[in-house]
Chains A and B, each alone.
Chain A
Amino acid sequence: MGLTDPTPPPGPSEAELAGVSPNFLTTRLDALTNWGRANSLWPMPFGTACCAIEFMATAAGRFDLARFGMERMSFSPRQADVLICAGRLPFKLAPIIRRIWDQMPQPKWSISMGACASSGGIFDTYTMVQGIDTIIPVDVYVPGCPPRPEGLIYGIRLLQKKIMGETMADPTLRVEQMVDRSGFFLPPARVDELSEPFGNSVHQTRSA
């Protein structure tokens, strides 16, 4: 992919981490920026299945996502803050959600909405990504099949809570995680571990 960085950015050294400590000024600035960020999240809707119907219901008048600062759906990743993957993700869409995530500017967050986006759900098959966290980092998982709008709103409130706890003193927060040269976002063993079958699926062998 065009955005792949051949050399992943180095993490902060011990000295760097030790040099940054929160003080009165940074914590006040944090409070201000986090308040602004948490209350003006523009979602990038990535709706692929029935969860997208619930997402639309959440955005519509009765549940009114705009109450939480999600004033506008951002159909361009360039103006989006939070990627909401609503629905199952087939392997064919994996590079596309990856590309959209790479195109979103920092600061950015993501919500995995529903059982399929979080774990593959009932689709433990040859076509389906077993959880979008093998493709992009995920901040909040919303369980449900599909989650009711209240569930999604609760997930968004959790994300706002998480944003309120962020601090600029942590240099690791806004580091871009790129797909590495081998085409992996996570180490292969970690992908396999995250994709482990569960529930009824464990009784099926790979050859069945």
Chain B
Amino acid sequence: MSEAHADLAPNGVKGPGPVSALRAAFGASVLRDRVSCGDAIVWVDGARSHDILGWLRDTPGQEFNYLTDVTAVEYRDPEHPLEVVYQLRSLPRKTDLRVKVPLDKSAALEVDSVWDLWKGADWLEREVYDMFGVRFRGHPDLRRILMWDTYAEGHPLRKDFPLRGHFTRAEQTRQALAANTEAHYSIEELSIAEAFDELPEDVRRRLARGERGQVK
């Protein structure tokens, strides 16, 4: 790679950076890497992204145990793939790594959820789904988080989304006024609440403590 190589262990941390180890473990699934403004960035293949992120979290010497953020970027160039960005932080090693997963816009925008690795990914991935329409396979509760459940205009941060939305102001106002202000719960949550008495005892105990399970 060029002189701005992500393996040069940014932020003055001694020892080998994550990229050579990643390449040794995953080979061609690591697409490219670079350092931008002192931040190490590595592009990985979407098919292996879950393995790679899990490896980065669990391997001694990497220990990226904190998921700072999940977001996405769509570029103005229509040929350029949409990128899902994972911002990782290693709390013991005090270093950061940015992992990007390019998604071809001509295919379905899908990537594996990292909710099973970091529980904090739950709402972050919901926001990416809400704003960009990227579906996360294996997410327990993938629905809109910022826009309301019945929002029908699309995914606002996509480049083909007009600033003022697709509908007229009158239609937007009508839909907003027709919204049910009492609806705090999703359809899934309501169906769980209705079926509460029929649920097994251990599930009821877990729900009473506020735990959520896999929603089919």
Interface residues of A (CB under 8 A from B): 1, 91-92, 94-96, 98-99, 124-127, 129-130, 134-135, 179, 182-185, 188-189, 191-192, 195, 197, 204, 206-208
Q: For B171, what are the chain A residues with a Cβ–Cβ distance below 8 Å?
A: 188
Q: For A197, what are the chain B residues with a Cβ–Cβ distance below 8 Å?
A: 164
A134, A135, A185, A208: the one within 8 Å of B163 (CB): A208
Expressed in whole angstroms, the minimum distance between the Cβ of B5 and any Cβ of chain A is 40
For residues 113 through 150 of chain B, which have their beta carbon under 8 Å from a beta carbon of chain A? 147-148
B interface, by DSSP: helix, strand, loop or mixed? loop
For residues 166 through 183 of chain B, which have their beta carbon under 8 Å from a beta carbon of chain A? 168-181
B163, B164, B173, B181: the one within 8 Å of A129 (CB): B173
Q: For A1, what are the chain B residues with a Cβ–Cβ distance below 8 Å?
A: 177-178, 180-181
Q: For B38, what are the chain A residues with a Cβ–Cβ distance below 8 Å?
A: none
Expressed in whole angstroms, the minimum distance between the Cβ of A99 and any Cβ of chain B is 6
Q: For A195, what are the chain B residues with a Cβ–Cβ distance below 8 Å?
A: 169-170, 173
Tell me whether A126 and B170 are in contact in the complex, defined as CB-CB below 8 angstroms, given that A95-B181, A185-B177 are known contacts: no
Q: For A185, what are the chain B residues with a Cβ–Cβ distance below 8 Å?
A: 173, 177
CA distance A130 to B181 in the complex (A): 20
Q: For B75, what are the chain A residues with a Cβ–Cβ distance below 8 Å?
A: none
17 interchain pairs (CB within 8 A)? A94-B173, A95-B180, A95-B181, A126-B153, A126-B161, A126-B164, A127-B156, A134-B173, A135-B173, A135-B177, A184-B170, A184-B173, A184-B177, A195-B169, A204-B163, A206-B164, A208-B163
Give the 9 A-B residue pairs with the shortest CB-CB distance, closest first.
A126-B165, A188-B170, A195-B169, A183-B178, A91-B176, A94-B176, A191-B170, A183-B174, A95-B179
CA distance A189 to B168 in the complex (A): 10
Give the A-B pair count, Cβ closer than 8 A. 80
For residues 160 through 216 of chain B, which have their beta carbon under 8 Å from a beta carbon of chain A? 161-165, 168-181
Interface residues of B (CB under 8 A from A): 147-148, 153, 156, 161-165, 168-181
Q: Contact: A189 with B153, CB < 8 Å? A: no
CA distance A207 to B153 in the complex (A): 13
Kindly report which residue of chain B lies nearest to residue A100, judged by CB atoms.
B181
Q: Specify which of A95, A130, A189 lies most central, judged by the most chain B CB atoms within 10 Å of its CB.
A: A95
Q: For B163, what are the chain A residues with a Cβ–Cβ distance below 8 Å?
A: 124-126, 204, 208
Q: For B172, what are the chain A residues with a Cβ–Cβ distance below 8 Å?
A: 91, 126
CA distance A185 to B163 in the complex (A): 25
Tell me whether A92 and B153 are in contact in the complex, defined as CB-CB below 8 angstroms, given that A99-B181, A124-B163 are known contacts: no
Q: Contact: B148 with A92, CB < 8 Å? A: yes
CA distance A195 to B176 in the complex (A): 15
A91, A124, A207, A208: the one within 8 Å of B173 (CB): A91
Q: Contact: A124 with B176, CB < 8 Å? A: no
Q: Contact: B162 with A98, CB < 8 Å? A: no
Expressed in whole angstroms, the minimum distance between the Cβ of A157 and any Cβ of chain B is 31
